[in-house]
Structure 1
Amino acid sequence: MNYSVISGDIVSSTSLNVEDSKFVEESLKTLLQDLKREFNVYGRIIKGDYLECVVPNPSEGLQVALAIKSFVKAIPIDIKKYTKDDNRLKQFRIHGIRLAIGYGELSRYNPEEGVIDGEAIYFAGREISGETTYNKERIVIKNTLFFASKNEDLNKNIQPLLALLDVLLSKATSRQCEVLYLKLMNNQEEEIAKQLGIGQSAVNQHSTSVGWNAIDEAVNYFKTMISK
């Protein structure tokens, strides 16, 4: 049985102060509860800024990954209170989190005991471990979304799509990411408007600005490719 396993680490987390780091960690706990409820995802947080998530329905892997990405980018951290020329914190605001989807089997998977082992988590972890920015004073981030499996044709088909989504989301505002997250969590625009306290027309405008139609098509394309 195949799974999508998502590994992710917060961009420039070491540049956040203690208060903001704790706030991010608590926010991630809320996120994992939401993902459990909507997609039956098992997730855990390691050292406060690293995520591991198992998506039982592997075709939902991209939808869950983009939900995580948009959620983190919408976390209300005010970087203006930090040193203005801190490039690392700017990268946090632009990218939020670095994510890799590993697709494959799990030889051992026991959520009750917190056991995850197998090629899927290996693929995801390998992509993230090779993309760290820890202790680099000036960082340049080219990509923050990755896909890996033992099927090279699948990898070649999906990775360019993730590169385009990466660029799209890097330009998204916090409000756009809030709307995107709620849409990826299968909420209708009317429900989103009520949750955010804004008009439905504003929700629609934010959806258009963030590129929802393209994102939705990408999610459906991923589902089709994984289901083959």
Structure 2
Amino acid sequence: MKAVISGDIIASTALKTTDKALVESKLKALFLDLNTHFNTYSRLIKGDYIECVVPKPGNALQIALIFKCLVKSLPISNPKSKSEQNKLKAFKTYGMRQAIGYGTLDRYDRENDIIDGEAIHLSGRWVNEHSTHSKQRVSVKSTLQFLSNDERLNTDFEPLFMLLDVLLNKATSRQCEVAYLKLLGNSEEEIAAKLGIKQPVVNQHSTAIGWNAIEQATTYFNQKLAQ
């Protein structure tokens, strides 16, 4: 059993060319970090769609939150047109729409870029069904979903994912930046040094985003799948 995260950048068409390049470069750099920390295999498709294989499924929620917090933390410039500004607001609020598919992979070959099987079909189908890529009006109801063929697991995780979704969608870019670094294992002192701020300020942002709840949620998810 493996987990596959499928995700798309919300309202990516509203981003300027330079901002799209920034998002792509940051995601590709993160792919390397995740491979080092979690032995994942990630790929970026058409600049705004990701697929990430997580060999140890219990790490999938933590990694999904890392993706979301990274995208929401990026400094994106404002477009001139009002319609594009409305789309950008959706981008800054939600960042990414992601689904974690939990199941088997019949074919998984990193060297030849092959990912095929139940897990990726589950996650990809949900993201594509909820995509707003070709729509003029961006309407977002949910950006985090768990899917498997075990209805008990789906039911157990549904309220947890809904609460995390609300929590992170309300977070500021700075709060997401702090959470992103914490999810990657950095201490508050290390984060303060990286961001050029004081440790108590890091702690304030951490408290504001609800770090204790996030940490417990990822631990619960990991333990539940391990069982």
TM range (shorter): over 0.9
Give runs of aligned pairs for residues 101-140 of structure 1, distance below 5 A: 101-140=100-139
1:83 is matched with 81
Counterpart Cα distance in 2 of 1:4 and 1:144: 17
Counterpart Cα distance in 1 of 2:190 and 2:114: 36
State the Cα deviation string for residues 34-67 of structure 1 (Å, max 9, x = none): 2112111110000111000011111001000001
Counterpart Cα distance in 2 of 1:132 and 1:82: 24
- Residue 148 (structure 1) aligned with residue 159 (structure 2): no
Aligned length: 226
Give runs of aligned pairs for residues 59-98 of structure 1, distance below 5 A: 59-79=58-78, 81-85=79-83, 86-98=85-97
TM-score if structure 2 supplies the norm length?
0.96
Note the C-alpha offset of 1:221.
1.1
1:41 is matched with 40
Name the SS for the 1:48 alignment partner.
coil
Identity %: 54
Counterpart Cα distance in 2 of 1:204 and 1:19: 32
Note the C-alpha offset of 1:84.
4.1
The AA in structure 2 aligned to 1:184 is L
2:12 is matched with 13
The AA in structure 2 aligned to 1:211 is G
Name the SS for the 1:109 alignment partner.
strand
Structure 1 outlier segments of 4+, above 4 Å:
none
2:216 is matched with 217
Note the C-alpha offset of 1:103.
0.6
State the Cα deviation string for residues 150-201 of structure 1 (Å, max 9, x = none): 1011001112211111110011111111110011111111111111111111
State the Cα deviation string for residues 106-145 of structure 1 (Å, max 9, x = none): 1111111111111011111011011011232222211100
Gaps of 5+ in 1: none
